[in-house]
Chain A
Amino acid sequence: MNREKAWKYMGIFLAVMLLFTGISRAADSFTVAQVRVKSPGKQMMTHTAAGSGTIVGAKERAVFVESGQKIFESYVKAGGYVKKGEILFTVDLDFLQEQIDACKNEEKRQRMANTDAAEQKKQKERQEQAAIQWAEEDYARAREKSAAAVQTAWEERDAAAERLEEYRNTRQDFVNENAVGEEDLTAQLEEELRAKERALEASILENREMEAQAARSLEDAQMAPAKDHTLEMAEMELQEKVEKLERLQKLYEAGGNIYAPADGTVTEILLHAGEVSGEGAALLLAEGGDSCQFLAFVKGEEEDYVTVGSSISLEGTKELEKLKDLSVESIQTAVNENGESVKELTVLLPEGAGKIGQRAEYVVSKEAGNAELCVPLAALHQENQQYFVYVLEENAGILGKEWVARALQVTVEDRNESVAALSSSALSSQAKVIIETDRAIEDGSRVRLMEE
């Protein structure tokens, strides 16, 4: 190979190398991630809770239908507005009439039952009085008889005692008269006296027992009977039946119509055509009026940011766009449509603002204070439960000074939906934090600033 060819090939070689230099640079530029950076700055951390809710009336009223009525027709829908006196439901009149007739029969039966109960009560009282009287008479007779028996026993004993005394006084005469021996007569008279005395004691005991029994019977008869309220309860039942009958008759006279008790919006219908009314409300009516309130559920993760007194703004129709400086009136626990326990906020609206049933969006902002190092949330990454950000670091390499992404561990002190407040001993306010990148990067990746 001669010299000229060698120099020619050298030239070609250098030209090819120059070409590949450009191509490799271009290819490399495609592989290097482009990033946008921002230095952490001081910022007020604001937490925003947002959602949607409904405007309801300040008061809610339940409308009842007489229980046991079959609803023939329903004239309202949930969310509909009704005026006072407007017909809400119509019950089945035939069914109502049957109930009225049945109620009347029940009333009659109850009246008759009450009458029977009154008569029985009187009869019982009479029986009780008679029993007392008989017991008193028995007691008196027992005492008389007892006294007479005892008196007789006393007399007989006294007689025996007199005979014995008399014998002792005129012993010989008596012996002669009675033709007995002296010792036998004394023993006989003493025995007779003892017998009479025993008889007297027995009579006294027996009569005492008899008197006591008569007295107990009298006490039993005089004892106050147990209280019996059967008649009073029956009267009460009768009264209830009478009242129910009056209500049914009144409903019948009204043509079976249930009227709206006040102006308002139907929030919930609990009874529908074809159903039988129960003890509960047939529908709920949010009464209209000058003041309404706004109700909305608060998302679980935003509950900490919504407190009583928080500033809230509502957006909806043109009328609501002006409502900026409202405050949360109350927060209570409620159950949402999924059966979950959630917080529900209530906001009182100014007079004339909003209409019942309107939907609106709410925004609650809560300032959590200034944070020194704030970065956009897009700059925050997480791995193994540790947060980190990528910062731009200048690195001198073969291609000269180039930017490299370095992962820096940080601690998140606070965050909202757009900004994170960080704390880190290595992160300063002069650091350039990568907030956006056009491809995935990792620690040590070469990067370049995004073309604007």
Chain B
Amino acid sequence: MSGKNIGLLLCGLLGIVFLLPVCFLAAGSLMGRREVEECLAPILWEGSEGYAQWRLFPQYPTLRSYVQLLLDSPGFFVMFWNSVKLALGVLAGQMLLGIPAAWGFARYEFPGKRLLFTIYMLLMMLPFQVRMLSDYLLLDGLGLLDSLWGIILPAACSTFPVFLLYRFFCGIPEALLEAARLDGAGEIALLFYFGLPLGSPGIISVLVLGFLEYWNLIEQPLAFLKDQSLWPLALFLPEIGVKEAGIAFVASVIALLPAALAFWAGQDYLEQGIIASATKE
């Protein structure tokens, strides 16, 4: 067997290993309540001995959990659309704010640019837990607590899209832009007619990565949203009890789908974005 084949085999095996949780998820969504409780009894019930077990194929497959979730759980859909609103709102805000910011950093020179960009990088590295209290106080002062805008606005001002788009915008040849200026194009026109098309891979990768991040957002909603009707889908699973483990699996499957579709839609550009972020000028 050639080295390439061995490599492929190993990658395949690794891929299967990484895929197993998704397979378990799908299998669990098709199991009945008793079968789920039987497999997860050591985890779910106190006093149970032994280890949890799982089957790749359910012994008695059923769509009962799907029916229960899709037809009998209106709260799930409230949270689903909250997640959609959050993700789309954040992405729209990031496009609105991040693209011009990245364009500015990439194509223009101004005093304090390096310092400002360094601050952007520092902010990008700060975890939410560090910023949580200051964010809370700020949002409280602005009256944005218990509101989706309190999640959307801070996320829209995230520095990661700026960082990613900066790389893509840096890759646009300056000669192209000079030529456009000579033809009378203004700076805004340069952004719209050259920056956005030529930086679309980066934009799409930002969108995809951003969607994946904000679709699964849990910390900010948990900290800043008290009204349960505003909670996103990530907070639905903790609401499910032990007896509704089947519904938890179905909810996870359904929550996985948009992320998977978004990834498939922007897979090519995502790869370009990762490459772009790895290369240096």
Contact = CB atoms under 8 A, between A and B. Distances in A.
Given A3-B268, A398-B239, A400-B229, A20 B262 contact: no
Nearest to B226: A396
Interface in B41-70: 70
Interface string B238-269: 01000000000000001001100110111010
Contact of B81 (A6, A10, A21, A23): A21
A398 B79 contact: yes
Contacts of A1: 264
Given A396-B227, A400-B229, A13 B77 contact: no
B70 A28 contact: no
User: Which of B74, B80, B258, B268 neighbours the largest number of chain A CB atoms within 10 Å of its CB?
Assistant: B74
A25 B81 CA distance: 14
A219 B236 CA distance: 130
Interface string A366-386: 000000000000000000000
A266 to B, nearest CB: 72
Contacts of A127: none
A6 B262 CA distance: 7
B163 interface: no
Contact of A21 (B77, B262, B264): B77
Q: Label chain B's interface by main secondary structure.
A: helix
B78 A398 contact: yes
Given A7-B265, A13-B258, A398-B239, A23 B229 contact: no
Nearest to A400: B229
Contact of A6 (B70, B79, B84, B261): B261
Contacts of B227: 396
Nearest to B227: A396
B266 A24 contact: no
Contacts of A440: none
User: What's the interface size class on A, roughly?
Assistant: 20 to 34
B264 A6 contact: yes
A75 interface: no
A13 B74 contact: no
A14 B265 CA distance: 15
Contact of A3 (B239, B257, B265): B265
Contact of A17 (B72, B80, B266): B80
Given A3-B268, A13-B257, A17-B80, A398 B229 contact: yes
Nearest to B264: A6
A20 B77 CA distance: 8
A9 interface: yes
A275 B133 CA distance: 107
A3 B200 CA distance: 14
Nearest to A397: B228
Nearest to A31: B72
Given A398-B229, A400-B229, A24 B257 contact: no
Interface of A: 1, 3, 6-7, 9-10, 13-14, 17, 20-21, 23-25, 27-28, 31, 396-401
10 contacts: A1-B264, A3-B265, A13-B261, A24-B73, A24-B77, A27-B72, A28-B72, A28-B74, A396-B227, A399-B78
Interface of B: 70-81, 84, 227-229, 231, 236, 239, 254, 257-258, 261-262, 264-266, 268
Given A9-B261, A31-B72, 11 more contacts: A3-B268, A20-B77, A21-B77, A21-B81, A24-B70, A24-B77, A25-B74, A25-B77, A27-B71, A398-B75, A400-B78
